[in-house]
């Protein structure tokens, strides 16, 4: 195709055009452009499989002709667009008065977020710490220090929370109210609008008008946070706020609001919960009944105790004391209103199902008088007639967890070094779950119990127990775990069999133990019958453990606020946000110790 250049002379040419130029003159008439869809199809299939619907210039290949036509078509399509009215500008992001992260900690967060997708699956090798597993701990520590996230890292932080639900509470708390502001502008972050985030920016309880406006017009996450804040400082005001709109709330929202009452539950909440027993939602009714059963002095607890005590007591006819059990023969409407589900799960008998629910909701302290003043340990030691022992003890376990009764949890756990304890460990979700009972004990007692259990039974049955112990692990728990790992290494086992425990140790051991563990990083002689290469694998695992502990110590130092009056503190927030955010930013200290 030829181009005709207009003449610049003001005098037009009067000579007739030669006959040989008639064809180009006709070709200069613009042809209809090829449809955009035809151009896209040719590009997707390739010019070798589909001839482009355009004419190529002399010496021009079909691919170049296709690209030229696409460029011209793009300009033509854009030129045909009419300007549209500008959209409404979003409201400014809310202020977050919390202090910014120290520069070193800000760079560390950038590294952790950039590395979160770099971890591979399968067994870990090498000595490099797993930064992905350190991110939750770092976020929790940053929130505890009261920092706010850098604005430039908020998108990456929200992306990380979207990909990992376990990060969401701490990530949203660190992100603060600006995370909710961003979530309104990006559908991929909508999860934050119904999550539990920071309470920063919520109206204070000294401004009742603002509190009422937030409660009636705010996002669900803001309303849950507001209710939790009010309940913490003024439980009655929080309950009054919830009662005012209770009848108009959706069932799933009523369930979440009920659950938020759990932390600060008191006898003053009983009338409201009694009304919730007649709620139209089955889940709301069940949750209200559960909450009432945690109040030992509630009317529901008294009703359940009366039912359970008629079914369970001492057998007066036996020579030695025996617990006699007579399960209920029906689930009447009163029991159903108080939260007893009439239909048992598959494979469960009706009467045992009803009995277990009654016992679970009965105040544990009431059993002492029922069994002639015996304490919890003495009651647990009594034999139970007619093979009801497992059912009864399972229900007492659930009651101890629900009522947070340490005396009964201690009695049901028994001695950690007892030979029978290893057989008592039940799978996750079971009612006879030692891990759940351990959560009822004080933190120091819990750590001691697990340490003694590991010393007696090893690590194979203790993995889930370790997960509920306070971090960092206090002694003697940390020492018991390291000793058990050392014993496994001396036995020639593969470290892969203990990868879960080793991963917990990296996150939960006290970083101060790193220097004491250096001696375990050496490659040892493999015992006879050991797995081939196990010595080298164990050396790598312990090197990674020591390196991770030292990195955690560094991260903790980076989060420590600078001394008051220190000139090296962070600059104003908008300037500090310009710090490098790529993994190549200069972080203090090596990434892998």
User: Could you tell me what percent of the chain has a pLDDT over 70?
Assistant: 81
What are the beta bridge partners of residue 148?
Answer: 100
Question: How high is the pLDDT of residue 397?
Answer: 94
8-17, 135-144, 315-324: segment of lowest average pLDDT: 8-17
Among 149, 115, 155, CA closest to 135: 115
Question: How high is the pLDDT of residue 120?
Answer: 46
Question: How high is the pLDDT of residue 533?
Answer: 63
Question: How high is the pLDDT of residue 285?
Answer: 93
Token pair 């108009």 in the structure block, residue: 248
* Residue 109: partners with Cβ closer than 8 Å, 6 or more residues away: 101, 138, 142, 149, 150, 153, 157
The per-residue pLDDT of the chain, averaged, comes to 82
Is residue 250 predicted with pLDDT exceeding 50?
Answer: yes
Question: How high is the pLDDT of residue 229?
Answer: 82
pLDDT band at 395 (very low <50, low <70, confident <90, very high): very high
| 382-408: b (≥16 Cβ within 10 Å) or e | bebeeebeebbbbbbbbbbbbbebeeb
Radius of gyration of the chain (CA): 35
pLDDT greater at residue 96 or residue 193? 96
Handedness of CA 504, 509, 515, 520 (dihedral sign): negative
Question: How high is the pLDDT of residue 579?
Answer: 37
Token pair 């009822």 in the structure block, residue: 440
Question: How high is the pLDDT of residue 6?
Answer: 44
**Cβ burial, residue 340 (10 Å; 0-12/13-18/19+):** buried
Question: How high is the pLDDT of residue 122?
Answer: 44
Question: How high is the pLDDT of residue 21?
Answer: 43
Is residue 199 predicted with pLDDT exceeding 60?
Answer: no
Question: How high is the pLDDT of residue 27?
Answer: 45
**Count of other CB atoms within 10 angstroms of residue 564:** 6
Mean pLDDT of 260-273: 90
Q: What is the pLDDT of residues 510-522, one digit of tens each?
A: 998 888 888 888 8
Question: How high is the pLDDT of residue 130?
Answer: 83
3-state secondary structure of 469: coil
Among 537, 552, 469, CA closest to 131: 552
11-15, 40-44, 408-412, 506-510: segment of lowest average pLDDT: 11-15
- Tokens matching residue 571: 């600059």
Is residue 245 predicted with pLDDT exceeding 60?
Answer: yes
Mean pLDDT of 568-589: 38
- Tokens matching residue 544: 């990674």
Question: How high is the pLDDT of residue 206?
Answer: 59
3-state secondary structure of 54: coil
Handedness of CA 176, 181, 182, 183 (dihedral sign): positive
Mean pLDDT of 237-256: 91
Whether 141 and 556 have beta carbons less than 8 Å apart is answered as yes
Mean pLDDT of 70-98: 84
State residue 373 phi and psi, 5-degree precision.
80, 5
Is residue 97 predicted with pLDDT exceeding 90?
Answer: yes
Among 33, 135, 25, 116, CA closest to 74: 33
Whether 140 and 170 have beta carbons less than 8 Å apart is answered as yes
What would the 3-class secondary structure string for 389-435 be?
Answer: HHHHHHHHHHHHHHHCCHHHHHHHHCCCCCCCHHHHCCCCCCCCCHH
pLDDT greater at residue 535 or residue 371? 371
**Cβ burial, residue 367 (10 Å; 0-12/13-18/19+):** buried
Question: How high is the pLDDT of residue 172?
Answer: 92
* Residue 345: partners with Cβ closer than 8 Å, 6 or more residues away: 353
111-125, 217-231, 513-527, 570-584: segment of lowest average pLDDT: 570-584
Distance of alpha carbon 353 from alpha carbon 344, whole angstroms: 6
34-48, 317-331, 391-405: segment of lowest average pLDDT: 34-48
Q: What is the pLDDT of residues 448-504, one digit of tens each?
A: 999 999 998 888 888 889 999 998 998 899 999 999 988 888 877 776 778 888 889
What are the beta bridge partners of residue 100?
Answer: 148
Whether 109 and 150 have beta carbons less than 8 Å apart is answered as yes
Which of 87-91, 103-107, 122-126, 162-166 tops mean pLDDT?
A: 103-107
Mean pLDDT of 45-65: 87
Is residue 310 predicted with pLDDT exceeding 80?
Answer: yes
* Residue 319: partners with Cβ closer than 8 Å, 6 or more residues away: none
CA dist list (Å): 496 to 205, 514, 515:
53, 21, 24
pTM higher than the cut 0.75: no
Is residue 412 predicted with pLDDT exceeding 50?
Answer: yes
Mean pLDDT of 305-323: 90
Question: How high is the pLDDT of residue 11?
Answer: 42
Is residue 426 predicted with pLDDT exceeding 60?
Answer: no
Angle subtended at Cα 225 by Cα 220 and Cα 228, rounded to the nearest 5 degrees: 125
- DSSP code per residue over 516-543: GGGGGGSPPPPPTTPPTTHHHHHHHHHH
Distance of alpha carbon 196 from alpha carbon 171, whole angstroms: 10
Distance of alpha carbon 323 from alpha carbon 378, whole angstroms: 12
Q: Is 188 left (phi over 0), alpha (psi -120 to 50) or beta?
A: alpha
pLDDT greater at residue 78 or residue 575? 78
Mean pLDDT of 85-109: 91
Whether 383 and 389 have beta carbons less than 8 Å apart is answered as yes
Token pair 């934050």 in the structure block, residue: 192
Whether 147 and 174 have beta carbons less than 8 Å apart is answered as yes
Whether 535 and 523 have beta carbons less than 8 Å apart is answered as yes
Among 417, 457, 416, 458, CA closest to 434: 416
Whether 188 and 160 have beta carbons less than 8 Å apart is answered as no
Residues across the chain:
593
Is residue 17 predicted with pLDDT exceeding 70?
Answer: no
Token pair 């210039």 in the structure block, residue: 57
- Tokens matching residue 293: 């059963």
| 500-532: b (≥16 Cβ within 10 Å) or e | ebbbbbbbbbbbebbeebeebbeebebeeebee
Helix and strand tally (H, E) in the chain?
Answer: 29, 2
Among 499, 482, 492, CA closest to 125: 499
Whether 112 and 534 have beta carbons less than 8 Å apart is answered as no
Mean pLDDT of 133-137: 90
């Amino acid at each position: 195709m030829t181009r005709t250049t207009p003449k610049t002379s003001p005098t037009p040419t009067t000579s007739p055009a030669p006959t040989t130029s008639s064809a180009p003159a006709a070709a200069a008439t613009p042809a209809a452009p090829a449809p955009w869809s035809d151009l896209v199809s040719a590009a997707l299939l390739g010019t070798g499989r589909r001839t482009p619907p355009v004419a190529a210039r002399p010496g021009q290949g079909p691919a170049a002709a296709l690209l030229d036509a696409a460029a011209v078509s793009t300009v033509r399509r854009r030129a045909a667009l009419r300007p549209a009215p500008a959209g409404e500008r979003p409201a400014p992001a809310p202020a977050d008065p919390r202090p910014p992260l120290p520069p070193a900690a800000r760079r560390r967060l950038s590294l952790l977020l950039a590395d979160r997708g770099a971890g591979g699956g399968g067994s870990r090798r090498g000595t490099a710490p797993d930064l992905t597993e350190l991110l939750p701990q770092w976020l929790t520590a940053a929130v505890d220090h009261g920092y706010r996230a850098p604005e430039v890292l908020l998108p990456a932080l929200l992306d990380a929370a979207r990909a990992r639900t376990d990060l969401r509470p701490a990530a949203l708390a660190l992100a603060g109210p600006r995370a909710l502001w961003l979530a309104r502008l990006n559908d991929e972050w909508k999860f934050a609008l119904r999550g539990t985030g920071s309470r920063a920016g919520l109206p204070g309880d000294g401004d009742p008008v603002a509190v009422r406006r937030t409660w009636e017009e705010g996002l669900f996450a803001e309303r849950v946070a507001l209710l939790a804040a009010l309940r913490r400082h003024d439980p009655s005001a929080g309950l009054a706020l919830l009662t005012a709109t209770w009848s108009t709330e959706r069932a799933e929202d009523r369930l979440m609001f009920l659950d938020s009452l759990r932390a600060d539950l008191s006898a003053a909440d009983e009338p409201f919960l009694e009304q919730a027993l007649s709620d139209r939602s089955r889940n709301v009714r069940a949750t209200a009944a559960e909450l009432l059963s945690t109040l030992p002095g509630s009317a529901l607890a008294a009703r359940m105790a009366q039912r359970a005590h008629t079914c369970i007591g001492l057998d007066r006819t036996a020579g030695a004391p025996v617990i006699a059990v007579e399960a209920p023969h029906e689930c009447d409407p009163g029991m159903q209103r108080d939260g007893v589900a009439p239909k048992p799960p598959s494979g469960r008998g009706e009467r045992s199902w009803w009995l277990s629910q009654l016992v679970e909701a009965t105040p544990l302290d009431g059993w002492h008088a029922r069994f002639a003043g015996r304490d919890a340990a003495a009651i647990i030691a009594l034999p139970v007639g007619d093979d009801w022992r497992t059912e009864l003890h399972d229900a007492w376990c659930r009651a101890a967890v629900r009522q947070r009764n340490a005396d009964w949890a201690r009695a049901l756990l028994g001695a950690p070094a007892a030979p029978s304890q290893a057989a008592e460990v039940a799978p996750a979700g079971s009612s006879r779950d030692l891990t759940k009972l351990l959560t009822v004990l004080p933190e120091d007692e819990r750590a001691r119990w697990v340490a003694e259990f590991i010393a007696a039974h090893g690590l194979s049955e203790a993995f889930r127990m370790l997960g509920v112990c306070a971090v960092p692990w206090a002694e003697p728990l940390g020492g018991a775990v390291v000793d058990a790992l050392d014993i496994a290494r001396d036995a020639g086992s593969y470290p892969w069999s203990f990868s879960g425990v080793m991963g917990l140790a990296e996150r939960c051991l006290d970083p101060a133990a790193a220097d004491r563990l250096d001696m375990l990083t050496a490659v040892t002689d493999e015992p006879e019958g050991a797995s081939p290469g196990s010595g080298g694998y164990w050396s790598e695992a312990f090197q990674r453990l020591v390196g991770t502990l030292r990195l955690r110590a560094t991260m903790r130092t980076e989060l420590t606020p600078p001394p008051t009056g220190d000139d090296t503190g962070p600059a104003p927030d908008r300037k500090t946000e310009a710090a490098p955010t790529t993994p190549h930013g200069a972080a203090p200290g090596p990434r892998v110790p």
